[in-house]
Each structure stands twice: as C-alpha cells, then as structure tokens.
Structure 1
Amino acid sequence: MPTKSSYPDIHIPDVSIWDLLFERTDRPFPNNKVILRDAETKRAYTYAQVKSSSINFGKTLKSVWQWQRGDVLATFTPNSIDVPSIIWGTHWAGGVISSANPAYTTEELAFQLKDSQAKVLVTEFAFLKVARAAAKISGIPDNRIVLVGDVKDETKTFLHFKELWLTQGDSRHQRTPAKNPKTDVAFLAYSSGTTGLPKGVMLSHTNIVSNVLMIQVAEGSKMSWDGGPDKGGDRMLAFLPFYHIYGLVCLMHFAMYSGFELIVMPKFDLEKFCSYVQTMKITLAPVVPPVLLLLGKHPIVEKYDLSSLRMLSSGAAPLTKELVDTVYQRIKVPVKQGYGLSETSPATHVQVWDKWHSTIGSVGPLFPNMMAKYMSAEEKEVPAGQTGELWLKGPNIFLGYLNNAAGTKNAITEDGYFKTGDVGHQDKNGDFYITDRIKELIKYKGFQVAPAELEGLLLSHQDIDDVAVIGIYDKSRATEVPRAYIVLRRGVKGTSEMETAIVQWLSERVSSHKRLRGGVRFVNEVPKSAAGKILRRVLQDKAKKEAEGVQSKL
C-alpha cells in the first residue's frame, strides 16, 4: 500500500502565488519588514516595496508590451534583489516565468527562449552579449531586453527595469488574476532530459502555493520573523540561484511568505559567505554538499565567527554522514538534508530539526498532503521498507513537460504518481533514504547534466568515433562530475595531449557545469546492449575499480 505522510494534511487554498504572498489576511509581519537585502551594497526592499515594485513592473509589461495572459518572460541573470519583483510583477500581469542559467551558452539559451516562446528577456549588463545573441536567434528584438542589477546601459539601447516603471497610482492597467490556479502555468523550469534536450517543466500556481505551505509545516515552527537577540528574526543567506527551483521556491518564495530577511549574494564565494555570516549575523543558510566540504576543510573558515548560524540545510545532491560530522565538529552548526525535484516544485522531504543527527543519511519524512510508493523494475509495488524506485503523488506534482506529451506520459501515471527515477526506501520511523538513481542524469553541484547531450557534441569531433559519458563521484569536490569514455578514430593516438584537447574543445561549447571535470578515458569500444543502448553501469563499475586501483579492461 502507498505510504501517506506522517504529517496531518493541510488546507491548500485555491489561490494564485500573488494571492498567497500579497493578498493574505493572516500575515504576521508588518509592511516595513525588510525581506530582501543585497549582501554587498546593503540595498534593501521591505515587504511593501517588493509588492509595489512588482505591481509597477506588471503595469509596465501591460503598457509597453501589451502583455497577455500566458505570455512568457525569461530571466537570464544571477541573483539580484530586483529579480523577485520581475517574477511577481509578471505574475501580477498574468504571465509565466522561465528562468535560465546565466552560465548558458548562446545556443543553450536560444533553445530555451524558442521552446518557451518567451516574449521578453531580462538580464544583467555583464551577460548582455550572450543574451542579445540568443534573443536574436529566437526572435526577441532588442527593445524587449530589460536590464536588472546595479549597472545600467549608458547608451540607453537597453533600459533598466526601474526606468520602465509606471506610477503605482496609474489605474489604466489592472491585475490579471489566474483563471484556474490548478492549471494555469506559473513557471517553466527547464530540466535536462536523458535525450539531451532540456524539458520545460510546467509548474502551476497551485504547485508552488502548496509547496510553500508544505515547507512552512516542516520548517516554519523552528523559524521566526521577529525573534533572536536583536528581534530582527532569522536571516537567511541566499547564494543558491533563484533561476534554480531550489533557490526559487525554498528561499525566495518561502522567505517572502514567512517574513525572513533574505541576504542575497549573486554567486557563492567562501570568504564572502563567511564574512556575511559574521557581520550580518546570518542564522540560516541553505547549501549544497560542495559548500559543506569547504566549510569543513578550507583554512579560510578559521578566520571567521560563524556562531550565529542555527542550521545549515543541504539539498540538490546526496549528503554523507562523514561530511555532516566533519562540518559539525569544526563549526558546531547542525546540518540537515532535504529532497526534491523540479517536477515536485521542488521539496518533498526534509529532516526534522531536532533529529538531524540521529537520522543522518536520510532526507526526512514525506511532506503533508503527499503519498509515496516504491516500485520494482517491473513497476510492481514493493512493501514500504524495501528498496524500489520512489513514486510521489500530491498537489505539488507538475502539470507535465511543455511540448512533450510522450515525456509527460512516461513520467506521470494515469493515477497521478510521478516517477522520480530515484531509488530508496523508508525506515520504520518514517524517514526516507535515497540510495541510487535510475536516471542517467549526472548531478554536478545540484545542476543536471544530460550524458546524451555531451555525447552528441563529442561525436561531432573529427577524431571521435564513439563515446559514452557517465557521472563519477569526485570526493574532493563532494559531487558527481562528467567523464567521457571515448573510442578514437583509427590512427589517432590516445595521448594526454589528446585528452586535454578534447576536454578544452568541449568546454568551449557548453556551460561550465557540463565540462568534463572527470576527464577522458580512451577505450577500444563502448559497451552496449544488443539493442544498441549504452551500458553505463559497466562503465560505472569500471570507474569504481579504477578508483580503487584495480586494472579493468573493457
């Protein structure tokens, strides 16, 4: 029988994201509560200022570009305290947000812009060259490219979003509310597919609303908007990107709903991270395992006082007991772990605060309003407690993949279960464990890398006859990294110079997280099934033996 959450079900209101955040009657914190603060410049927005700037941007969309319900706005920017107003202003105007990684190449961004049919692109000045080239390919004119951040375009070719604001009192343009929060798309979150092309994950308003409320149940009682020694409440350090579903929902939306102050960093830098914790008395920090590795071992950490931290919450990739213990022994800050996917909006599990140490290795109990079951390779349900693929059902499960009916059918069952592709089990206390992955996707620092995409590019290299890409665990980075097993063209030698050349060649064609950090191995053939499918498990076993110093030949 499917497992039901141990939390009591909660009421999920039939409202939009805008209603949840800005029209609620039970908000416990005042209008002048600071919600967003730039870590470097200290520029800040209060709750009321976020709301007014969002409305102004929404009016701009309607006035300048005649925004229609369902139109898509794409963001291509690192973290900025302006980004939330862009996102919620688009929702105010009835639009959809599709966020792209600012490390994308022109071709990668152009694909997302075309697939999502984005009408406007928001970026920062530093990323304008790639943004403009991708916009041209996808049919977005220059006058629909908007800048955010602290640097403006002195030529006035591209306007800053603040320069586009209308006055809040302008009554010509009214909010376009969601027609049906359960089916109206709020976000198109692009997730790498095993076929190589990213898939647009359609997330509804209800998906996000439900997940924010679920997180509140699992986390909210341990957090405060007005507590602590200075009565300023919890301060959360946000370097996890808002263009990634983890940062988007678990940081940005959750902080806005709960009234926590979000201290925003454009990207991670260890010394700045430690400095901000010390000087701004940060109490909470969502992280990923590679950051924990630095906190546990890097000498810079010794220079700073991190004692204000109450909890580190890790997600996006598996967390080992050794890493948790190393961090705790050094800085005396608890570390707990959660689990989720783009398709689940994203969070589905998180360890209970008071049990972080007794349940190390688990991702905690299932969130309220959810059901889970474990399935065998033959898609037969196995009893709870036994190992199987985790299938999940609940109000946070996505609507489907954009323009991909076959992918949607393969991912979501007729009775509403999402096949996560992750293998695990549940213990007798109701805590869940993720132990393996069925999917071929490689997780580099939480970012998805599709082997097939890299294989397709590598096969276009003149000296490569065949190739297979797998993820190998790099202990020094505390993450998976891509490695290529390559069959060279007859007569070409597999030298160290050739390996370096191939790694560099691919690096010039993909964004940073897709690079072959696991290196290249030259082989005589790529192991395949009778049907021609790459046998990645054979290569993974080979990689493990190599790591153990055991010679293995294909």
Structure 2
Amino acid sequence: MYRSPFQEIDLPSRPLDEYILEGASERGDHPALVDAASGRTITYAELAELVGSVAAGLADAGLKPGEVLAVYAPNSLFYPVACLAAARAGAAVTLVNALATAKDLARQLQDAEARILFTVSALLPTVREAGGTVREVFVLDEAADHRSIGDLARSGAGRPAADAPRRSADTALLPYSSGTSGAPKGVVLTHGNVTANIAQMSHALEVTPDHRVLAVLPFFHAYGFSTLIGVTLRSGATLVVLPRFDLAGFLDVLTGQRITHALVAPPIALALAKHPLVEGRDFSSIRQLLSAAAPLKPELAEMVHRRIGVPVVQAYGMTELSPGAHVPPRGQTPPPGSVGKPLPSTECRLVSPESGLDVAPGAEGELWIRGPQVMRGYLGRPTETAEVVDEDGWLHTGDLARVDEDGWFFISDRVKELIKYKGYQVLPGELEAVLLTHPGVADAAVVGVVDEDGMETPRAYVVAAPGAGGSGAGAALTAEAVMEYVAARVAPYKKVRSVAFLDALPRSNAGKILRRELRNLAAGAGPAGS
C-alpha cells in the first residue's frame, strides 16, 4: 500500500458553496472572475452577494432542497455563480457537456431528474429539441422568452435565501462519466467529496490571491470545476475565463493578461510546442502549466518547456475521484512522465488484473485508490458501483500504473476500453452502434490509437458488407464516407478520426472483440482508409 507523502489534513465539514466562498466578502474589490474577451469583472464581494441573491431567486422559482439543477453551457462569468447558488439553495448540480447533442442532453436530464436548467441563448435550439421534464429554462446571458440569471439575482436581491440544509453526505455535483466501461452514468459527488478534494489539492498546489489562473478548460469537466472554480476561488486568486479554445485568442490572453498559471489538456500543449503562432510571444509571467484530463507524453512536455520556457507538469484523477488523486508536490520537480504523488489522505495500491494480488515494487498493476474524494457511487446503479468501488472502499480505476523508488507515480496504459480524445470521454460501443447502422458496414470496432504527437483518437476498423467495397479505386465504401456518416450523428468530439478496412475483426471464442489486437495492428497501420 502506498500512502500520501503529505501530512494528514483536517477535512472540511462545511457545504461546498460556503467552503469555496469562505472569506470572499472580506476580499472586497479583489477580482474573482474576469471575462477574457470583454474585461468584465466580478469582484469577490460581488460574487458572494450574487450567489446569495441568485439562490434566493432560485428558491422563488420553485427549486427545492434535494432537487437537481442542470448547467448546459460553455465557460462564462456566471457559470460558477449558477453552480454555487444552486448549492446554496440545497440543490445538486448536474454538469452537461456544452458539446452534447440533443439526444445526449435529453438522456442526462431525464436520468438526473433535473428540474431547472441553465444554458445560453446559442444552445436554446438544442434544448428545445431535447425536450425533457425541466420546469423552467434560464439563460446565463439574455434571450427572449427566457428569464436570465440576472433576473434571478434581481428578484432575490437584498434577501438571500436562508441556507438550506446541506449535509456532508448530500449530493453536490452530478457529472456524468462512463467509468471503466459502459454507458454514461451519473457520478454522485457529495459536499464532503468535493470539499475534501479541493482541500487536498489546495494543500498540494501553490495558489495564492496574487495568482491569475486561466480558465480555458471547461467548467463542466470535473477537473475544470474542482480545480478552477474550487481551488482558485477558495484561494482568493483571480480566474480569467475563456468560453472556448481558440489558439490565437488563448495566446493573447495567456501572454497579455499576466496569467501566472494555466490548466491545459495535451492538445493545448501540442499547439504550444509546434504552432507558428507561438513564436515571438512573451511567456515570462507564467510560472507553470498543469496538464491533466488525458495522458501527456513526456517528450511533448519537454518540447513545450524548451520552446516557451515554462515547465509543464501532469496530474492524475478521474470524475469518480472528485476528480483529483495525484499531483506533483509544490517545490518538487517530477521525473518526466510522472503524474505526481498521492494527495493528502489518499492511499493507493497496484494490483495485478490477472491475479488480484498486489504487484511487486516497481511492477505495473491496476491503480486502486481510497480516500475521502472517492464518489458515493453511480446514480441509481448499485451493481455498476460495486464493480468499481469494493467493500473496503477501494476505487478500481481501470488504469495501469507503476511507482518508482521515490514514490512518483506513472500511468502506463488502461485496462478499460474508454477513449480519451482531447480530454473528452468517447465510448467505443456508442460509435460501433452508429457504424453498424450504415448499410455498407457488416461489422465494426473502434479503438483509441495514439498518433505521432501522443494524442489518442478514435479509429474505426470496418468490415464492409458484401458488394460495398472498402478500399481501392472505385470502392463504394470509403473511409471518408464512413467518417462523414458518423460525424453527422454524434457530437463533434466523438467523431471517428480514421478508418481502416479488414476482412474480419479479431474476436474471442465468446465473440468479444479483441481490442488489444486492434491496437497492436494500429501501431503499424497506415493512414485513414488503409
């Protein structure tokens, strides 16, 4: 068993909103949230007042303690306000991917039993198509025929809602994750889970009121929520908010607004390492880039460091861990490729997937984690919960890892089949189901393949139906046609990025697709359509 090198910490006992906003009123005019494009600012005193007023407005709108409020929006100044106000009103918040299709949105709203929805005007057509049972849809900006978060704040101004009862075991966040396999499931994160993880990360990371942190990673991602909204605002730092990633705009903000820290995903690191727009920029204000949400090749981290002079370190976690488990301790330089060391009050084991026994020191095994940040379970799915969290409280991550003699952890592979494309979760089974609806596809399998830049992308292996072709001049079924077919039916981040044709898929005697064989094949496969 591997224990955290950090000293034990006192775990918070306060609700999520109170814990994050502790001391906010006293910080007065210090900027809490800054819109990167317009410069509009919400101070800490304004943030504390807004959260109380919007919570009162939500109570007037009929939101009851224990109900679920959904947020379906890109990053904005008012995204944290909506989430913290919902918590203040005693509701749980389900975070919806802003790229979700109407079908994805409808499924999550129904499964979570969301009663109130926050979105933005640009996404209202998708909301209308999704339908659902929400009582009212509010917007974070402005839209005809919809009340806004500003309307809620004005209706509740001057009379903040009395604090609804929020126990440590009550649900605070309900993000959706595929876990180690299967369809997306609601991950029940309690007030105790999330505040514990914010406290753990705050202890391990150096974030002070003098820091300016760039929020380009989405708030709907558990990593973005807990680290950006949680740790940054709890620490009194300034959060500079970008609604979406555009390289030119990202670089302008990164270098022009005195950013000291940025949380990134590997695709952003890749752009920093290779794109010509990076040339001639002054990165001197930036002290560190922290990468998570997907594995980062050590060679790529070194390329970024050499090019812009800023160190890039990795952290590790998953939605079911609220989401953090490992970070590099402040003041320590991790070896290349390491995701750091276990957070305070966190225990780890490395277990052989074959034998179920702990592996020898230095050997590779499945990473098991136990700590106060481990989820309560999957919403309404006790069987799936028991498959991931055992009776002793160990979360089986599905990731293979090793630890060196100095206690640094390295993630090497995944037991699970989930694909991480630019930090987003992509289910192979979902894409396979779409592929099999194509009349020219007889069989299909999807695996994650790693390109030369270390990015994992979905590749489809397709068996063409008789007469449909599959390769060569004049073939009726082409790689481009397959990719276009899938792209028209899924969210943009789920698209198949390459296609290869086979005469038959490798399967076990029981009919299970042998994905490892396909990944091995991909390592030597040619370009799309090969």
Normalising by structure 2, we get a TM-score of 0.95
Tell me what 1:197 maps to.
183
Alpha-carbon separation, structure 2, partners of 1:219 and 1:499: 45
**8 Å contact 1:16–1:177 — kept in the other structure?**
no
User: What's the counterpart of residue 512 of structure 1?
Assistant: 492
1:258-269 matches, within 5 Å, as: 258-269=235-246
Measured after TM superposition, the shift of residue 548 of structure 1 is: 11
Alignment CA distance shift 1:195-1:381 (3 Å): closer
1:231-287 CA-to-partner distances (Å, cap 9, x unmatched) read: xx1101110000001110111111110011000000111111111122211111111
* 1:488 has 2:482 as partner: no
Deviations 1:448-483 (A, max 9, x none): 11101111121122222211100001224x411101
For residue 170 of structure 1, what is the aligned residue in structure 2? 159
- How is 1:48-67 mapped onto 2 (pairs within 5 angstroms)? 48-65=45-62, 67=63
CA distance in 1, matches of 2:208, 2:118: 33
- 1:535 aligned partner: 514
Give the structure 1 partner of residue 105 of structure 2. Answer: 109
For 2:479 and 2:255, locate their aligned partners in 1 and report how far apart those are by CA, in whole Å.
43
Gaps of 5+ in 2: none
In the alignment, what sits opposite 1:224? Answer: 208
- Other-structure match for 2:198: 212
Q: CA deviation at 1:15?
A: 2.0
Query: Are 2:478 and 1:498 aligned?
Result: yes
Number of aligned positions between the proteins:
523
Give the 3-state SS of the residue equivalent to 2:28 in structure 1.
Answer: coil
Q: Secondary structure at the match of 1:355?
A: coil
Counterparts of 2:461 and 2:295 in 1: how far apart (Å)? 25
Question: Offset at 1:408?
Answer: 0.2
5+ long unaligned stretches in structure 1: 226-232
Counterpart CA distance in 1 for 2:208 and 2:164 is: 33
Q: 1:384 to 1:217 in 2, by over 3 A?
A: farther
Match of 1:293? Answer: 270
Residue 79 of structure 1 corresponds to: 75
Matched-pair contact (CA < 8 Å) for 1:75–1:121: yes
Contact 1:442 1:451 in 2 (8 A): yes
What's the TM-score once normalised by structure 1's chain length?
0.91
Runs of 4+ in 1 over 6 A off after TM superposition: none
Per-residue deviation, residues 423-443 of structure 1 (Å, max 9, x unmatched): 011111111110111010001
Task: Name the amino acid aligned to 1:513.
Answer: Y
CA displacement at 1:195 relative to structure 2: 5.5
Question: 2:298 and 2:20 mapped to 1: Cα distance?
Answer: 37
Alignment of 1:79-478 (within 5 A): 79-134=75-130, 136=131, 138-141=132-135, 144-149=136-141, 152-153=142-143, 156-165=144-153, 166-170=155-159, 173-178=161-166, 180-181=167-168, 183-192=169-178, 196-220=182-206, 223-225=207-209, 233-356=210-333, 359-377=335-353, 378-476=355-453, 478=454
Taking only the aligned residue pairs, the percentage that are identical comes to: 37
Between 1:487-496 and 1:123-132, the stretch displaced more is 487-496
Q: Is the 8 A contact 1:211 1:346 kept in 2?
A: yes
Query: Taking structure 1 as reference, are residues 120 and 548 closer, same or farther at Cα in structure 2, changes over 3 Å only?
Result: closer
After superposition, the CA RMSD in angstroms is 1.8
| Offset of residue 168 of structure 1 | 3.0
Is the 2:76–2:241 Cα contact (8 Å) retained in structure 1? yes
Question: Which piece of structure 1 moves more, 120-129 or 383-392?
Answer: 383-392
1:69 to 46, 65, 75: 65
Q: Could you tell me which amino acid in structure 2 is paired with residue 187 of structure 1?
A: L
1:456–1:192 Cα change, 3 Å: same
Distance 1:32 1:9 in 2: 34
